Amino acid sequence: MYMQNPVFIPGPTNMPEVLRKAADMPTLDHRSPLFGEILRPALAGVKKVLKTDAASIFVFPSTGTGGWETAITNTLSPGDRVLAARYGMFSQRWIDMCQRHGLKVDLIETAWGGGAPAERYEEILAADKAHEIKAVLVTHNETATGVKSDIAAVRRAIDAAKHPALLFVDGVSSIASMDFRMDEWSVDIAVTGSQKGFMLPAGLAITAFSPKALAAVDAAKLPRTFFDIRDMARSYANNAYPYTPAVGLLNGLKLSTELLLAEGLENVFARHRRIASGIRAAVRAWGLELCARSEDLYSDTVSAIRTPEGFDATSIVAHAAKTYDVAFGVGLGEVAGKVFRIGHLGSLTDVMALSGIATAEMVMVDLGLNIRLGTGVAAAQEYYRDGRTSKVQAAA
């Protein structure tokens, strides 16, 4: 099926045509010097997006899940303790991966709709006098609930406890869309993927290792082969890969970082914040609520919208796809059937967002919810207009 409508899922995201074409390239000898002309700028561009000078970048043919596995297998050993909070589907999946690898997870149960509990991290780390906990895992943007966690606060908690644990951050649905400061926040490993803020097809796991994380690699005893960053580092020294790379995707990543940096990272973040705020204005106009429990937790890349008690939110997603050929995100895990999700990240504009809001309105009216056509669209229009007309007036 040929789809003309934009998608409003939290990833994969809409692709600019120029990036789609960059990834769709003729076969190139990945052992030739030409490959280095793709690889080196791609890695350098990722460093700039992550706001890091110190980290080393490793990009694998995989997805964000492969990035999680890269983080834990390259730095930890069987039986090591890690500290993690469960506050959504994706924080849960990283926890599950650790347990499958034979790691001991100190688990903090947190209500879905809440964020990473920095104060609990501090309490537990301060009590760990023997420093048995080797890593702290945090999901920056919990895609299932539309919740953004404060990574700087988690870093402050680790430092306040005077604990040497590594800080691992899942930035799959935040990096390249929301502000991420790897060096300033002293993140030891950051994980993301190609299919969200970088606006590419799925297929690349993008990881960044701090010097402290690199120092832990040789002592780590978890098995790793495909995801061994030592093999990758040796190959990078020769502008190569230890196996066949995804050349087209790396070429797309090179151009993606160029586009993001040309727009200006602060402008990218402001665009996402503006689009998200317009969607939140629509949600208020509909008389509905977000899953995120407070404004400081609101994600700028995905909104999980609660529907009235007893209403199956999944029917909104199914009806939108069948009737209007528009994709929204279903609720996952504990909020399955209770929320539907509007993804608003990557290649998106105010005008595109309005089409998604209008479609959601039509669907909810079709399904009998007490919503009047045009209310959410008008609220978002007012928000988007205010921001743009004030700029025009200031320029005049």
Q: What is the pLDDT of residue 48?
A: 98
- Write down the mean pLDDT value for the chain: 96
215-218 contact pairs (CB < 8 A, 24+): 216/74, 216/75, 216/76, 216/166, 217/74, 217/75
pTM summary value: 0.95
Mean pLDDT of 86-100: 95
Structure token pair of residue 264: 């200006």
Per-residue pLDDT of 177-214, as tens digits, reads 999 999 999 999 999 999 999 999 999 999 999 999 99
Q: Based on the domain organization, do 229 and 147 belong to the same domain?
A: yes
Q: For the chain, what is the domain count?
A: 2
Residue 123 covered by a domain: yes
Q: Based on the domain organization, do 65 and 185 belong to the same domain?
A: yes
Is the pLDDT confidence value at 389 over 70?
no
Q: Based on the domain organization, do 163 and 274 belong to the same domain?
A: no
| Domain span at 366 | 264-395
3-class secondary-structure state, position 51: coil
Q: Based on the domain organization, do 115 and 69 belong to the same domain?
A: yes
Rounded distance between C-alpha atoms, residue 39 and residue 334, angstroms:
41
Q: Which of 262, 282, 306 is the last residue of a domain?
A: 262
- Round to the nearest angstrom and report the end-to-end CA distance of the chain: 47
Percent share of the chain, pLDDT over 70? 97
**Comparing 30-34, 174-178, 307-311, which segment has the lowest mean pLDDT?**
30-34
Per-residue pLDDT of 144-154, as tens digits, reads 999 999 999 99
Q: Which of 247, 262, 277 is the last residue of a domain?
A: 262
Beta carbons of 125 and 83 less than 8 angstroms apart? yes
Q: Based on the domain organization, do 299 and 378 belong to the same domain?
A: yes
Residue 149 covered by a domain: yes
Residue-by-residue DSSP string for 217-259: TTT--S--STT-HHHHHHHHTTT--SS---HHHHHHHHHHHHH
Residue 12 covered by a domain: no
Q: Based on the domain organization, do 246 and 301 belong to the same domain?
A: no
Mean pLDDT of 49-66: 98
Q: Which of 243, 262, 281 is the last residue of a domain?
A: 262
Per-residue pLDDT of 265-299, as tens digits, reads 999 999 999 999 999 999 999 999 999 999 999 99
Beta carbons of 219 and 212 less than 8 angstroms apart? no
